[in-house]
Amino acid sequence: MDKIRFATVWLAGCSGCHMSFLDLDEFLIDLADQVEVVYSPVGCDLKHYPEAVDVCLVEGAVANEDNLELIYQVRRNTKLLISFGDCAVTANVPAMRNMLRNSAEGVLKRGYLELADANAQLPHAPGIVPELIDRVTPVHEVVPVDIFMPGCPPSADRIRATIEPLLHGQQPEMAGREMIKFG
């Protein structure tokens, strides 16, 4: 039987959700037997998201042009997309900058001009630093999401309870405090 093609993606998040994924400890060994990891910031150094991915965990909100491009690629090439953690599900911490006039220009001016102690100037490095988009959004406002796994970060137990049924062709039951509590 072909292994499940498994990916994880890191958008605008602190990587805490991926750290929690690593807390799966010995289950990671079971997982490695059952899936083929085809893309991930953890242990995979691939530049392009591959085709025909079965399951992908997406950490983080959509906050810049690179995030947008990647999430469209992910959706086109993934059967089951899981919003992984509160930043993916609600935009959470990265969306705090939306209070600054819902504009990339507003947040850049606040951070680099109004609050600067010296050498106030706007950063500009096209092609090197991705441009911010005006409003940070949760993943499902950009592409359809199949499963929502909240948590900041989701505990390793919750991550396991979400992905283990998928390995056996079943849907996880995303209900109750243990599975869908935020924070």
Residues at the interface with ligand SF4 (CB under 6 A): 13-14, 16-17, 59-60, 85-87, 92-93, 152-153
Nearest approach, Cβ of residue 61 and ligand SF4 (Å): 8
Closest separation in Å from C-beta 56 to ligand SF4: 16
**Cβ proximity to ligand SF4, 63 vs 68, nearer residue:** 63
Query: What CA dihedral angle connects 149, 154, 155 and 159, to 10 degrees?
Result: 40
- Number of DSSP helices (H) and strands (E) in the chain, helices first: 7, 7
Of the candidates 23, 58, 22, the residue with the CA atom closest to the CA atom of residue 39:
58
Q: How far is the CB of 8 from ligand SF4 (least distance, A)?
A: 12
Specify the residue for token string 């997309």: 81
Residue nearest to ligand SF4 (CB): 16
Taking the least distance from each CB to ligand SF4, the nearer of 19 and 122 is 19
Please, are residues 160 and 84 in contact by the beta-carbon 8 Å criterion? no
Please identify, using beta-carbon distances, which residue of 4 and 139 lies nearer to ligand SF4.
139
Minimum distance between the CB of residue 12 and ligand SF4, rounded to whole angstroms?
8
Place of tokens 């950490």: 59
Rank residues 4 and 17 by Cβ distance to ligand SF4 and give the closer one: 17
Number of residues that this document lists for the chain = 183
Q: Which is nearer to ligand SF4, 78 or 83 (CB)?
A: 83
The answer for residues whose C-beta is within 8 angstroms of residue 154's C-beta and 6 or more apart is 17, 20, 84, 85, 162
Question: Shortest gap between Cβ of 19 and ligand SF4 (angstroms)?
Answer: 7
The CB density around residue 18, as the number of other CB atoms within 10 Å, is 22
